[in-house]
Chain A
């Protein structure tokens, strides 16, 4: 059984137009469809990478999974039960089981809390354990992330570097022994030489502590190194999913192909193909009903703008694509 399932999940935001616009000019309420009909599965002990450019809905998906935002439609199922049907005890349990780490290391810590307060806050708020046990676990996790407690426990955020702050963020998520960690671009604001350290740390901890991870990023090079399976999103739709190596080396969807060929390689000897794509990104308000990549796709036909093939939930372990023009691509 999968640890987490998203079935047909969507999230819409209303774009408010004025009362007069609506009454007199009859302008309809416009919607930003940030996430549309996404099917997603995360198994135990795996790292699922979600890749896409800005506006693709990956962050909104994270927020829905962590419970901070409610989906407009669709179901989120954790360990077989729908999360919107949880009672308050189960909700508390869910919060302790699904944790998140964030992008901006300079904003992720409360400037008034010492390191130990930040890390202990989750268990304290959820009353998971008695105080002395909490302190001992905090001790433990600080060591595990490479921040010796004697040196770091009483420090304030402004006394820490970017990498250290991010480690504190990881510690405060993992102290609760979650089953799932959602990482929303945790490395993009760190220096290059520091990133590798945090990435390696995450991989190690995921292995040691047996949690699954959803890693969201626009950086395919990083995802290539940490993700077991990779899902690509475009303007709110999931367009491709599969084992990371397969998706990167053998992309099936035209968007994925373009994306991968656009990633620069740190080697002056390598050559890459020009991405086959038309035009600039479109705004996610009132998009066409079918595949949203249609306006920019060099292979699109008439059906593309009308219908969208969703990724089949039951075959998520395989390499799937939401494109029905596979034959055109392969030729």
Chain B
């Protein structure tokens, strides 16, 4: 992981207009992704992680509005680029996406190889023969046998389709690949092989990866750095090891308690009481406040600023100074459920 950021996002906001009001799906999100690293974004449903990435890639629906202080890719502002240039120069060629439920993203009436060839030809000046050779290469990289290029999606298993989507994302050698829930819905053994394959691919190509998932175990295994999102905001971000050894934010502490591990069968599982917040209308205070056992009056009124604790470790919590104490308290059931 070198010290030059390949992607820099500063203060990104996304709002949706709906019948019930305005939803603040993403608020004040800032983060960096460095070259040749895996950056994980963890969070539960509704936390804004998918919306965030769709905003950066301009794949938001019509009723969404996005604004950001700046979005830089390789030091270039992509935020203010025109639609045309963005589509031609950035999307797929520089930043590509393996979308959620990618397994269902393949067109069922075309052969899989053809679909990737088409995608390549649409973005480059490569001829059909070159493109097909490239697809063969890619299939090899993702671990699919080349004869499957001529098969249809329904002849592929779930894991194979996922690999095909990863191949498509790699096609144009992008600097950044975003994977949105890449293994959700796949069986354990299939998931394991795909994750292992992704790790191997990393050694071959030098792209960075943003990995979005709600599965804490997957993100722990795969990521170099992790950001934890809740209620549209980033609660904490740090290097993986730091996040697991010395977490500071109460939500992170809660998640650790709630996630069962196969290695620690004696762990006392403690859930976080309450439910995710409604993001409709004006948001005051910290989004986690209602469920936080350590919240104070201030947490209801003001939104905590981002505090840098160490290099790469940032927290948004008023009580970050008491982190060591909070960690101790969070281990007890009585703290969360009284």
Contacts and interface: CB of A to CB of B under 8 A. Distances in A.
B121 interface: no
B275 A263 contact: no
Given A53-B189, A262-B189, A268-B221, A197 B271 contact: yes
Given A221-B261, A225-B267, A267-B263, A193 B192 contact: no
B214 A280 contact: no
Given A275-B189, A281-B157, A270 B263 contact: yes
A199 B269 contact: yes
Contacts of B258: 192-193, 195-196
Contacts of A192: 44, 214-216, 255, 258-259
B265 interface: yes
Listed residue (A274, A277, A280) with the most chain B CB atoms within 10 angstroms of its CB: A280
Interface in A264-283: 264-270, 274-275, 277, 280-281
A245 interface: yes
Contact of A194 (B188, B189, B191, B271): B271
A77 interface: no
B220 A268 contact: yes
A224 B196 contact: no
Given A259-B189, A267-B220, A193 B241 contact: no
Nearest to A280: B157
B198 to A, nearest CB: 13
A191 B214 contact: yes
B316 interface: no
Contacts of B195: 264
Contacts of B160: 280
A264 B269 CA distance: 18
A277 B273 CA distance: 40
Contacts of A199: 260, 269, 271
A244 interface: yes
Given A192-B214, A264-B220, A224 B255 contact: no
B276 interface: yes
B271 A53 contact: no
A248 B263 CA distance: 9
B25 interface: no
B244 A269 contact: yes
A264 B3 CA distance: 29
Contacts of A193: 44, 254-255, 258, 271-272
Contacts of B189: 53, 258-259, 262, 275, 277, 281
A160 B280 CA distance: 17
Listed residue (A54, A198, A265) with the most chain B CB atoms within 10 angstroms of its CB: A265
Contact of B261 (A200, A262, A266): A266
B216 A266 contact: yes
B207 interface: no
Contacts of A220: 188, 262
Nearest to B269: A196
Listed residue (A196, A262, A266) with the most chain B CB atoms within 10 angstroms of its CB: A266
Nearest to A187: B260
B44 A264 contact: no
A135 interface: no
Given A193-B258, A224-B260, A259-B189, A264 B221 contact: yes
A245 B265 contact: yes
A224 B195 CA distance: 23
Nearest to B259: A266
Nearest to A225: B260
Nearest to B265: A224
A218 interface: yes
Given A161-B275, A225-B269, A281-B157, A196 B187 contact: no
B201 interface: no
Contacts of A270: 263
Contacts of A248: 262, 265
A31 interface: no
A192 B265 CA distance: 17
B265 A225 contact: yes
A200 B240 CA distance: 28
A218 B185 CA distance: 11
Contacts of A163: 275
A66 B223 CA distance: 43
A53 B185 CA distance: 11
A38 to B, nearest CB: 20
Nearest to B263: A265
A196 B271 contact: yes
B205 interface: no
Contacts of B267: 225
Given A53-B189, A258-B189, A266-B217, A244 B265 contact: yes
25 contacts: A53-B187, A53-B188, A192-B259, A193-B258, A196-B260, A197-B271, A198-B271, A199-B269, A199-B271, A200-B269, A200-B271, A220-B188, A225-B269, A245-B265, A262-B189, A262-B191, A265-B261, A266-B259, A267-B220, A268-B240, A268-B241, A269-B241, A274-B196, A280-B159, A280-B190
Q: Which are the 5 A-B pairs with shortest beta-carbon distances?
A: A197-B271, A196-B271, A262-B192, A264-B217, A53-B187
Interface of A: 53-54, 161, 163, 191-200, 218, 220-222, 224-225, 244-245, 248, 258-260, 262-270, 274-275, 277, 280-281
Given A53-B190, A268-B240, A281-B189, 18 more contacts: A191-B45, A192-B216, A193-B44, A193-B255, A194-B272, A195-B258, A196-B270, A220-B262, A263-B262, A264-B195, A264-B218, A266-B217, A267-B263, A268-B241, A269-B244, A270-B263, A274-B196, A275-B192
